[in-house]
Structure 1
Amino acid sequence: MGVEIRVDGLTKSFGGAPVWRDVSLTLPSGEISVLLGPSGTGKSVFLKCLVGLLKPDRGHILIEGHDIATCRERELYRVRRLFGVLFQDGALFGSMNLYDNVAFPLREHTRRSENEIRSIVMSKIEMVGLLGAERKLPGEISGGMRKRAGLARALVLDPEIILFDEPDSGLDPVRTAYLNQLIVDLNQQTGATFLIVTHDINTARTVPDNIGLLYHRHLAMFGPREMCLCSQEPVVRQFLNAQRVGPIGMSEEKDADELAAEAAAGVELAALPPIPLQLGPSNGEPRPSQRPPGQWCADNDVTPPPGSFEPDPSSAASPVPASAGAAAPAGAGPGVAGGDGP
């Protein structure tokens, strides 16, 4: 099962230039959270701080009683065993085939026999739908397959926390939809805590249990999916609707003159779109952390946008019947298989 991550007052700068200040949030155990933000707001830096690759200027990152921000190297090494990380391009070793790439953490950090390693590696390769491709080199497969191989490697030590750094970058919308389904299925199977950094709005609207937004050197919002998708906060509305109107500009923040010109012209933010149903596991069972559609809105006396939570068979957010994924490899989701696919 996953573990909770509590971040309190985290601040990071480079050469005196602040990346973000006083970031505080809690990633609930076993849930999927998404971190959004304009380019250059420090999302990848945040992931590196979580796993201890970068030290924050101040603040705390608490995981099972350990403070990643201040603990010693020996303690940090033990806590890092809780993590699996999927890097943007998979970060595979180009001279190793997929099997050896996935086996690398087991050979490096455990004393398991090669028979044990083979059993584990093939299990993870099957989970991500790459059976039959394990002897290929990274240069011989598609970008989506490299990402899935990187995901298999991230899973091989059975981590309780998995970080995804823009897993959909460079993928077309269809492959992104397959990858999103795989992420939801793996969360159901492993029970791990997932944090996804992404720019894909459809992913942010349908996959997570929680959404956060970094903007202008601070955390603009973090909370349940429905809370963020109902937010009237201008920066949240602008980003989730991919609009030019609002406080975000080409170089992150618009100046006062630009905002005044928009106001004088009577230009307003677009209405909030309907909130889609949350993407469900391909076996048709509920997600471990699933809440009834509209529950947060009802509990907090918030009226969701018209048309919210209505089933749409053509939508990526529609639950997939259990029969649809019956022929797919375990954990792969319908349509995710080896070969030259995603």
Structure 2
Amino acid sequence: MGVEIRVEGLKKSFGRQVIWEDVTFTIPAGEISALLGPSGTGKSVFLKNLVGLLRPDRGHVYVGGGDVPRLRENELYDMRRKFGVLFQDGALFGSMNIYDNIAFPLREHTRKSESEIRRIVLEKMEMVGLSGAEDKLPGEISGGMKKRAGLARALVLDPEIILADEPDSGLDPVRTAYLNQLFVDLNTEMGATFLIVTHDIGTARVLPDNLGLLFRRGLVMFGPREMILSSTHPAVNQFFNARRQGPIGMAEEKDQAEVASEGQIPQAMPAPIPPQLMPSDGRLRPSMRRPGEWLRQHQTKPPPGSFVDDQGRNWLTDWDSLTHAGHRPQ
């Protein structure tokens, strides 16, 4: 099962440039969370702090009971085995075929026999849809296949936490949709904690259980998907609905005069909340919430048109019939 990640009072800077000053939130165990924000807000830097590749100026990162910035080198090495990381470009070794790229962590960090390594590698390749591509070099496959090969490599040590840094960068919308479905299916099967850093609003709106937004050297908001997508907070509303009106500018943030001038314009309402992606086999993930559950609990009306899919089915009213049993798996 997945592991909870608890971040408290995290600050990171490079020289005089402050990346973020006081980031505090909890990434729930076994759930899919996504972290977004304008370019330059330190999303990739945050991932490096989670695994101890960078140390924060102050603060704590608790993973499975250990505080990552305060671990000794041998403890840090053991802790990192909890993580599987999908890098933005796949980070495959160009001179190795796909099989050897995926086998690399097993050969480096375990004493498994080659027959056992082969069994694991082929199993993970099948999971990500790469069966038959063992002998291909990274230069011979598409960008989407590189992402899936990088994901298979991230899975071979059976990690409890999967980190994905911009997994949809460079992919067309169709391949992005396939990759999102793969994340949902892997979470269903493995129960691992997923944290996905992305710029893709389409991904953010349908994939995760939880969403967070980094902006202005801090975490603006983090919480259940419905909380974020129904929020009227200026930065959250602007970013997750891809609008020009709001505090986020072309560079990073607008000056006060520009924001004040926009105050004359009525704030647009959040867009309809789409249904969340279901696993391919129709099962409910343990962390899936019934559509509208958070909204009902907090007496918040969903934006008009919410929870209707592209086939016209209303997941808010027809949840029980659409999910066959209408209950969580035991």
Asked if these proteins are the same fold (TM beyond 0.5), I'd say yes
Post-superposition CA distance 1:272-308 (Å, at most 9, x none): 1111111010001111201110000001111111111
Please give the secondary structure, in 2, of the residue aligned with 1:271. coil
1:16 to partner: Cα distance: 2.3
Matched, 1:285 2:283: yes
State the alpha-carbon separation in 1 of the partners of residues 270 and 298 from structure 2.
18
2:270 corresponds to: 272
1:170 corresponds to: 170
2:327 corresponds to: none
- TM-score for both structures, normalised by structure 2: 0.94
Please give the secondary structure, in 1, of the residue aligned with 2:136. coil
State the alpha-carbon separation in 1 of the partners of residues 152 and 52 from structure 2.
22
Unaligned runs of 5+ in 1: 323-342
State the alpha-carbon separation in 1 of the partners of residues 181 and 64 from structure 2.
29
1:93 corresponds to: 93
1:144 corresponds to: 144
Matched, 1:14 2:14: yes
2:310 corresponds to: 312
Post-superposition CA distance 1:35-54 (Å, at most 9, x none): 00000000000000001100
Post-superposition CA distance 1:155-192 (Å, at most 9, x none): 00000000000000001111100110001000101100
Tell me which amino acid in the other structure corresponds to 1:238. Answer: Q
State the alpha-carbon separation in 2 of the partners of residues 107 and 10 from structure 1.
35
Contact preservation (8 Å) 2:232, 2:269? no
Unaligned runs of 5+ in 2: 324-330
State the alpha-carbon separation in 2 of the partners of residues 226 and 73 from structure 1.
40
Matched, 1:197 2:192: no
Contact preservation (8 Å) 1:238, 1:269? no
State the alpha-carbon separation in 1 of the partners of residues 8 and 230 from structure 2.
25
Post-superposition CA distance 1:60-114 (Å, at most 9, x none): 0011210001111110000000000000010000000000000000000000000
State the alpha-carbon separation in 1 of the partners of residues 180 and 42 from structure 2.
23
Post-superposition CA distance 1:199-229 (Å, at most 9, x none): 1111101000000000010000000000001
Tell me which amino acid in the other structure corresponds to 1:23. Answer: V
1:268 to partner: Cα distance: 3.4
Tell me which amino acid in the other structure corresponds to 1:187. Answer: N
State the alpha-carbon separation in 1 of the partners of residues 218 and 291 from structure 2.
29
Q: How many residues align?
A: 318
State the alpha-carbon separation in 2 of the partners of residues 177 and 251 from structure 1.
29
- State, as a whole percentage, how many aligned pairs show the same letter: 69
Tell me which amino acid in the other structure corresponds to 2:287. Answer: S
1:314 to partner: Cα distance: 7.6
Tell me which amino acid in the other structure corresponds to 2:308. Answer: E
1:252 to partner: Cα distance: 0.8
Please give the secondary structure, in 2, of the residue aligned with 1:249. coil
> Is the alpha carbon distance of 1:72 and 1:314 closer, same or farther for their aligned partners in structure 2, counting shifts above 3 Å?
farther
State the alpha-carbon separation in 2 of the partners of residues 168 and 18 from structure 1.
27
Tell me which amino acid in the other structure corresponds to 2:265. Answer: V
The correspondence of residues 45-194 of structure 1 with structure 2, limited to 5 A, is 45-194=45-194
- TM-score for both structures, normalised by structure 1: 0.90
